[in-house]
Every structure is written in C-alpha cells, then in structure tokens.
Structure 1
C-alpha cells in the first residue's frame, strides 16, 4: 500500500468519525416517522393531538435556524473540532429528555435542543471535512455527510416500529456519545491553526492526517489561508456587491424549490403518509423500503453532477418530483372519493412506487446540487456568510413544510398537500429554466464574469426603460 493510499484511508477514517454526528442529526430528522404513530395511538403514555404532533415534528428544524451564525463564529474562534464536540451536547440532552419525558411539553424542549445541534452540525461539519481532505477525495468525503444522515433516518424507520419510544431514544443516544469518545482524539483542521499562525500545531495536525512528505501541502494551505485573510469579506458584501446579490437571489430560489417540493414532510411523516392507503405492505415496512432507497441513491448526484451538469440535473429533478407529487395526490383523491372502485383498489401499490421514484429524482438533483451552487457562485471571502444565510432560510422553510403538512392534511385532505408540492415543484422548474446559469466545467473566475454580465445587462435594460 502506497503512502498516498494510506493517507486517503486516514482521511476516510477521520471523516467517518466526524460524520457520526451527521448520522445523529439523521436520527433526529427521521425519529418523528415511527414515533408520531405511537404517540397518537391509544397505547401512548403521552397522548397527543395531531396539532401537537406537527409541533413535535417541526420545532426541531425551526430551532436549527438559530445556530448557523453563532456556530460559524465559534468555528473560527475556538476551532472546527471544538465546535463539533460542543454540537454533540444538545443531541445528548435532547435524547435524555425524550427518555424521561412525561408530557408533550418536555418533548418540545427535547426537539428544540436537537434543533440547536442540527444547525451546528450542518454549518461546521462540511467545513471540517473539506479542510482535512486532499483534492482527490474531497468530493467523496463531502458525500459522507449526506450518506450518514440518510443512514440515521433509515435506522429510525427500521428500529422505531419494534421498540418503545424510550428504548429508541436510548439507542439513538449511543451515537452522539460514540462521536465524542472517538472524535476527541482526532486532529483539528490545519487551516484553523494557520489562521492564528500556529504553524507547529498545523504541521502536527497534518502529519496525523497524511503519510509521507507534507511540506508542499502545508505551504499551499498557508498561502491559501493568507489569501483568505487578506480578502476577508463581511455580511454587508452579500448586499452591497451586485454579483453577490444576484448569486444570493439565484441560490435562495433553488433552496426554496428544494424545500417546497415536500421532502422534509415525506421523511418526517413517512408512516403517516403510507397509512392513508390500502396497500398490503405495512406502513412501517414501506417506510423501510423508502429509507433504503434514500441511502442507495444519495451518491447518484455526486456521480452525475460533473458529467451531466448542475442545471440539467436540477431541471430533471424538479420535473420528476413534480410529476410524482401530482401522481400521489391524484391517487389519494380517488382513494378518498372512489375507494370502492376496483380500479382504485388495484392501484394500492402506486403511492409506494411513486414515492420511490420521487426519492430517486430528489436525490439526483434537489438534495445536493443546491449546496454545490452555493460553493460555486460566491467568492471565498463571503462563502461562509452565504452558507449561513442558506441554512437559516432553508430551516424556516423546512419548519413551514413540516408544520403545515399535518394542518393542511387534516383540513383539506392529504391529496391537497401533494398537489401543492407538485405545483411548487413545477413552478420551480420554470424558474430554473429561465434564471439558473450552468456552472459545469467553468472556473470560478468565469462564473463570476457571467454574473457580472447578467448584472450589467439587467442594469442596462432598466436604464433603457427609464429613458424611454
């Protein structure tokens, strides 16, 4: 085994330990699917209403919007490693509260703590894995964040239906504790040390991550850090710079489509959704199949994104998701109003099949490509600020989708919810066809030049209109 291969294995091992915390975030995300069914059943030791259930499902995501900005500052001040270790504490507290909970109020508090951890993890984990990786494996290591999240969700679908709520929480508690025990021995990012001119610590950190000669790589990292420090941006640059405003407008539009296609609701309410049909497969078994499909397809967009391109993948994804949402909504409409017909009874397999196609379509584009766009359309000096804004923005929209899913379903039927998701997906398709530029194979300078040309054309058009 060559020194280079050994280095890559070290990087994978370090990233795997680091992404245990994203698996924990996945358990929190998928936990409502089996648990809400129990809490709303006659056997529940904490009886809740459907309205209370919607708060339990959604309040975590709302609270996740509060931590990206503080955690970004903490990562720069105290280090990526320290911030991630601190990010495990809210998860630990959250699961302990679930174990001892005797009221819906305490479940709300537990989910709030989980949300704070969720926001920390998804701000700092990509930063850490990106900074410890070499160019050859950076993309693969970044996919571990998504993969481990899906594994955490799948674990809830597979374990939740067969154990009590408290037992499930105790099992989930193992993950953040295991993360702390393993991650505490791993190195800090060398980028962080060099920002504070701690060259010896940076060298020691890099030696723990690599085999062989590290002098060239250490020098390159030092040059990159010095450049970043010279050109430090500010929050106001996102508004005052015309190209940044344009990039933010495009990015937030794509993130809006990502959330309003309904993915957050499908994950959190999987068993509730499948319970609405007459399939011969039990709802929790259908959820397991869906979870397995998520894990199997989460790598697809990474393979395709540099071959097919960002814009075609997003357009294909939005089209597929929109059609599948419409299909599920139409099935549930006929199931509610024409349940006794042979044709409807014969199509009991349709929601499961449509949602499996939905998961594949979502995975190849809308799941991961928006984060690629954030990374490509902003200069390095404001990329972290843009990422924080995107996390807060998506947190608010995810909360709205998860909270309103139950409310709209109770008032107007589940078919109305899926028709709404379908309409937003197809409107998003039109938006991306018209607005979204293709960035595949383009250098950062070329992307920025394209944004400047768009801004110049827009300004020129406005001036001509005023003169006319």
Structure 2
C-alpha cells in the first residue's frame, strides 16, 4: 500500500506514523516508571499505616519484575517476533493499570508493579528493536531516539496528572494510552528484518514495501538479506564476551555506564521527587517543581539526541558527570544544613535550582550516552547477549540505588545518600576521562579495533599496518 496526499507521495510518512504507534507503549512505561513519586503521598492517605519499607517494595518491585523478565524477553523477541513482543508488553502494561485502578489493597498494587516491570523490560527491548528494523538508515537514529523521548513524555504526563486526581483516573489515562497502541499496532506488519531471519522472504518484501511506501525496495531488501546472513554466520557464544579482549572492555564500559546512571540517583529522583521536594520545603510547591523537572529533562534529552554526534560521547559524559556531581552536592549540602537546624528562610530557592540543574545536565550526557554506546561497542556476534547483560546491570543497580537511598535516609538523614550519589558521579567523571573511548565518527569496525588496542594505519604500498595501541586503564583487562 502506498500512501499519497493529493498528487504527492511521502516515502517516510508511514515510518513516522508507525513509530508514533510503537512509542505509545514508551509513554505508558514512562508513566509507570515515574508513578511512585506523585502517587506515594496519595497512598499514604489511603493506607495510613504505610511504612517506608513498603514504599521501597513498591518502588523496587518494578525493577525486580524487569530483571526476572530478561529470559522471557529474549525468548519472545527471538521466537515470536518484535511486533508480538510489543503487543505482549502492552497486555502486561494494560493489566497493571487496570489492577491499580481497581486496587483495594497493597497486595494488588505489589502485583501490578511487578507486572509493569515485566512490561517495561519487554517493551524497552522490543520497542527500539522494532523501530530500528523498520526505519530507513538515514533516519534510524532519530526514530529510535523517539522511544526514549516518549518514555520521558510519560513521566511528564504522570507528574502532571497523578497529584491532582485519584488513582482510578490517573490509571485510566495510562490504560487509555496502551489501548490506543493495542488497537493500532495490530495493523502494522512485522519488521522485514525479523521476517528474513525466519526465512519468510515474501512477507519481508511486503513489509518493506509498506514501510518504505514504494515498490522499489529490491536494493534494500538485498542489503538486509546480506546483513542477516552475516549475522547468522557471526553468532557468538556467551563465553566469547569474556574470552575476547575487546568484548571484555565493551562489557566493562557498559557495566560502569549503566550502573553510574542509577548511582547518580536518577531512579531515586524519578520515583521519590515529590517527597524529596516536600522535605526540602522549597519556594515552589512540589507538584509544580516536579512537572518543571520532568519537562526540563524531556527537553534536555531531545537536545542531546540531536547533538550527540556533534559534541561526541566522551565530551558529553565529562560535562554531564561534572555538573551532575555539583547539583547533587548542592542538594545534599542544603539538606545537611536544614537537618542541623540551619535557617533556610532565605535559601529555599536552592533545592528547586539544584533539581532543575540535575534534570538539565544528567540527560545532557549520563542519561543518554550509555543508550547510544550500547549499540556501538559490542560486535554483531555478541551484541544481543552483551546488551542483555548490560540491561540486567541497569535494572539491578536501579533497585540497589533505591534500597541505599531509603536505608540511609532512615539511619542517617536525607542528605547522606545525595553525598554518596555525588561521589559516585565524580567517579563517573574520572571513568569518562580515562576509560571511555570516543566513538563519534567511527565505524563499528574502527570502534572494535580501539577496544582491542589495535590501530589501523595505511602503509606506503597500500596495505594496512596494524599497530597496537594502549588504553592504559584497560591494560589488565
């Protein structure tokens, strides 16, 4: 089917509309991720005996569901397809919203949070994968980034709606967004890439014609076929991630980068922002500050996606980790001064400025660069396994950061975890300076040579000379 408006045909219009449909799931998942921050005060009113430990359980069940869903995610994406995986994620997503809307007990909310964690893991893998495989290479980066923008949009929505309505209403908004996806995605074809993997060339051709809005797809179909054949020949084993020097470095880099996001307090912020701002007693109501925070973070992420190839991954990480550390130090010092009976009358503007600065600078590098680099540092043969392990690290440290925060707040005070998160951000700065290779403008092959410590230089006779280069921080890996 070709889509025309008047006498003109818009070849990429189908891709944009398809990506919008796929991104509805990202919006609903973002709403789930930020849900506990505005809803915790509501839950405390509904359940007057709600303890800090129970709040921690509600927050971390999302992470636990995502972690346990990793094997299921791999199976569904590989055996059932990217489109069906998104639909399954949407079903889990919708079920969790319905359970929250109808909940009469904390047990129901616990189960709902676990289910939305499963939905999140499947959706975060299948969604970007589907988008990448249906997109033209000229706009693939832009369209794939749209999923993460949709996720942040979901946080903006839940922060803007949940504080002012009851649980049923805010859950209905999330359920409505998922229903839009379920009733539209079923009409889209499976990705042409996956169909070729399953040896269904006829349907793959039909899918590609649909998404390219043209019958002239033979050249691209051949390119996809060659890529699929190459991938099947290059299938690696799990042990190859650890035996190969370059793979070890890639895994090491992504482990630290994914852990650093949470140890810079991003999950703590998103899941507890309203409570943090309420404790800070700032000059602006927590609800308004949180909405501003989420909007600023969305804008910062959008700008970063469009500039990451201009300024480079390494430079953005250095800038982001430096200012993230500063913003957390400011917030921690404010809380320490307040808890030790300091007069905050004239400095109530500080916590609002600190969290807004955090929103700008975190998504200006630490929150986006790892997403970009995860698809660059692993070779094709072990990319799926490497990214899956990196995703597991991301989820694990999300839960760890929440437990650390809640524990330190109770034992020491709210300022203590933010000093720790600031220290971790400083550690990320040092790691960015000494350990992260710059991948901007490099081909995937060149990146692999850098990680292996090999530099290709042309000789006078036209042959390629390989020179061993050292990244001093990696010499013992």
TM-score scaled by structure 2? 0.92
Stretch of structure 1 that moved more, 276-285 or 301-310: 276-285
Give 1:197's aligned residue. Answer: 199
Give 2:27's aligned residue. Answer: 23
Give 2:107's aligned residue. Answer: 105
Stretch of structure 1 that moved more, 83-92 or 453-462: 453-462
Q: Which of 202, 224, 227 in structure 1 is aligned with 2:227?
A: 224
Give 1:335's aligned residue. Answer: 338
Structure 1 residue 298: Cα displacement = 1.4
Structure 1 residue 258: Cα displacement = 1.4
Q: Which of 279, 283, 296 in structure 1 is aligned with 2:299?
A: 296
Give 2:145's aligned residue. Answer: 143
| 1:130 is aligned to 2:124 | no
Aligned residues: 458
Stretch of structure 1 that moved more, 441-450 or 313-322: 441-450
Give 2:462's aligned residue. Answer: none
CA distance in 2, matches of 1:253, 1:240: 19
Structure 1 residue 4: Cα displacement = 10
Q: For residues 340-379 of structure 1, what are the structure 2 equivalents within 5 Å?
A: 341=343, 344-379=344-379
Structure 1 residue 171: Cα displacement = 2.1
Q: Which has the higher helix share?
A: 1
CA distance in 2, matches of 1:312, 1:83: 36
CA distance in 2, matches of 1:280, 1:165: 27
Structure 1 residue 26: Cα displacement = 0.4
Q: For residues 299-338 of structure 1, what are the structure 2 equivalents within 5 Å?
A: 299-338=302-341
CA distance in 2, matches of 1:239, 1:4: 53
| 1:275 is aligned to 2:278 | yes
Distance 1:55 1:304, change over 3 A: same
| 1:266 is aligned to 2:269 | yes
Distance 1:449 1:219, change over 3 A: same
Q: 3-state DSSP class of the match of 1:377? A: coil
Q: For residues 59-70 of structure 1, what are the structure 2 equivalents within 5 Å?
A: 59-70=61-72
CA distance in 2, matches of 1:281, 1:459: 45
Distance 1:4 1:427, change over 3 A: farther
CA distance in 1, matches of 2:331, 2:169: 33
| 1:186 is aligned to 2:216 | no
Give 1:10's aligned residue. Answer: 14
Gaps of 5+ in 2: 455-467
TM-score scaled by structure 1? 0.93
CA distance in 1, matches of 2:354, 2:55: 26
Q: Which of 156, 159, 162 in structure 1 is aligned with 2:161?
A: 159
Give 1:466's aligned residue. Answer: none
Q: For residues 75-94 of structure 1, what are the structure 2 equivalents within 5 Å?
A: 75-94=77-96
Q: Is the 8 Å Cα contact of residues 262 and 421 (structure 1) preserved in structure 2? A: yes
Structure 1 residue 460: Cα displacement = 12
1:349-382, Cα deviation, whole Å (9 max, x unpaired) = 1111111111111111111111221211111121
Structure 1 residue 459: Cα displacement = 12
1:4-48, Cα deviation, whole Å (9 max, x unpaired) = 97122211110110111111110100110111011123xx15741
Q: 3-state DSSP class of the match of 1:373? A: helix
CA distance in 2, matches of 1:147, 1:161: 22
CA distance in 2, matches of 1:47, 1:143: 42
Give 2:37's aligned residue. Answer: 33
1:225-257, Cα deviation, whole Å (9 max, x unpaired) = 111112112222212222111111111111121
Where relative contact order (Cα < 8 A, 6+ residues apart) is larger, the structure is: 1
Gaps of 5+ in 1: 464-468
Give 2:423's aligned residue. Answer: 423
Give 2:211's aligned residue. Answer: 209
Q: Is the 8 Å Cα contact of residues 264 and 425 (structure 2) preserved in structure 1? A: yes
Give 2:386's aligned residue. Answer: 386
CA distance in 2, matches of 1:460, 1:274: 41
